[in-house]
Homo-oligomer: A and B are copies of this chain.
Amino acid sequence: MATGFGFQVTATDGKARTGVIDTPRGAIRTPAFMPVGTAGTVKAMLPESVAATGADILLGNTYHLMLRPGAERIARLGGLHRFMNWDRPILTDSGGFQVMSLSSLRKLTEEGVTFASHIDGSKHLLSPETSMQIQRDLGSDIVMCFDECPALPADDATVARSMALSMRWAQRSRDAFGDRPGHALFGIMQGGVNISLREESAEKLKEIGFDGYAVGGLAVGEGQEAMFSVLDHAPGFLPADRPRYLMGVGKPDDIVGAVQRGIDMMDCVLPSRSGRTGQGWTPRGQVNLRNARHRDDPRPLDEACTCPACRSYSRAYLHHVVKADEIIGSMLLTWHNLHCYQSLMQGLRDAIAAGTLADFVATFNATRTAGDIAPL
């Protein structure tokens, strides 16, 4: 791996692994969930609060940051860590996914993607080379290859053509990244739900050689069953001694299923985004705090949770501040949701270390949707 980086698997349970990714900015306990700090902030959270939930690393979005405030500006200001006051590791995506979902007037060529900013319409090019430069300007610890990700369902020919392009871009990303001690580069496997394309993609990435390997192109509309059927095979195509990162996943049961199948890292906006719409996650399911049934309820959102929202506030209060559109509603529910997610990750790590993952998953599945919590 890159200088300053290391990955030790300390225990396995079936295909699941627990371990530590060492980085110059600190250790990342795996399986790890990365909160998303889209535009230089995990929305509604101070960074010290994100750390207090148990997050070892967060994800920044290249697409958002290049457009506003601009990667060169962040570089002049000392890099993304200093800019956003987060001194632990940061992984940045390549911008490839967001440019396809958020920008307009896109044009995809062998060179890259030209597009118009969703903020001010300004023209930009994202390519393997510009993405590497932007992620260098940001100073991210874990850099992602620039790739292309078709929406699913798509026919095999489309998926194969797209995967082949992403593999050529992976080589160009590797070449453009160069040798940067203290910074790691991850490749991204594509291939949709086609297992042989996934294997072909993995072989190509291993030929190039990366510090870690992501499973990309999932959680894009294929459904959990199809995603798990890919994950039954895909992690096994990747080197066992490198971290495996499943991008953009997911709900708690997606995370549990992915970890069972050998995934080490994940990220998702779900816990933070749903905290801003009055949704609270618990190990047993999801709670809609907007619902009037909470308005006189003196109980905490989750009796078993130790986060600030559950320690000090009633469901009645959370209902009130959500209904009144008070910022503290987003602050408390985002904190709770991130705490809930990190507690799940700690539970998974402990269970794998103890060799009791099957019991952990059985309990997780049995208690979900119990009590008065609305089903997921």
In chain A, positions 74-89 with a C-beta closer than 8 Å to chain B are 76-78, 83-85
- Contact with A40, one of B73, B84, B295, B320 (Cβ below 8 angstroms): B320
CA distance A331 to B331 in the complex (A): 9
Contacts A73-B296, A312-B85 given; indicate if A331 touches B321 (C-beta within 8 A): no
In chain A, positions 198-235 with a C-beta closer than 8 Å to chain B are none
CA distance A45 to B295 in the complex (A): 22
Residues of B within 8 A of A73 (CB): 295-296, 316
Tell me the smallest distance from the CB of A152 to a CB of chain B, in Å.
Answer: 31
In chain A, positions 46-105 with a C-beta closer than 8 Å to chain B are 46, 68-69, 73, 76-78, 83-85
Is the C-beta of A41 less than 8 angstroms from some C-beta in chain B?
yes
Residues of B within 8 A of A328 (CB): 41, 43-46
Tell me the smallest distance from the CB of A312 to a CB of chain B, in Å.
Answer: 4
- Contact with A295, one of B44, B69, B84 (Cβ below 8 angstroms): B69
Is the C-beta of A317 less than 8 angstroms from some C-beta in chain B?
yes
Output the nearest chain B residue to A313 by Cβ-Cβ distance. Answer: B85
Is the C-beta of A326 less than 8 angstroms from some C-beta in chain B?
yes
Residues of B within 8 A of A39 (CB): 320-321, 324, 326
Once the chains bind, are B326 and A41 in contact (CB under 8 Å)? Answer: yes
Residue in A45, A324, A332 with the greatest tally of chain B CB atoms within 10 Å: A324
- Ranked 6 nearest A-B pairs via Cβ: A44-B327, A69-B320, A85-B312, A41-B328, A41-B326, A39-B324
7 A-B residue pairs with Cβ-Cβ distance under 8 Å, sorted by A, are A39-B326, A41-B321, A41-B326, A44-B328, A68-B320, A85-B312, A331-B331
Query: Beyond A40-B326, A41-B328, A43-B326: 18 further Cβ-contacts under 8 Å?
Result: A39-B321, A40-B320, A40-B321, A41-B321, A43-B328, A46-B308, A68-B324, A69-B316, A69-B320, A77-B296, A77-B314, A77-B316, A83-B314, A84-B317, A85-B312, A85-B317, A327-B327, A327-B330
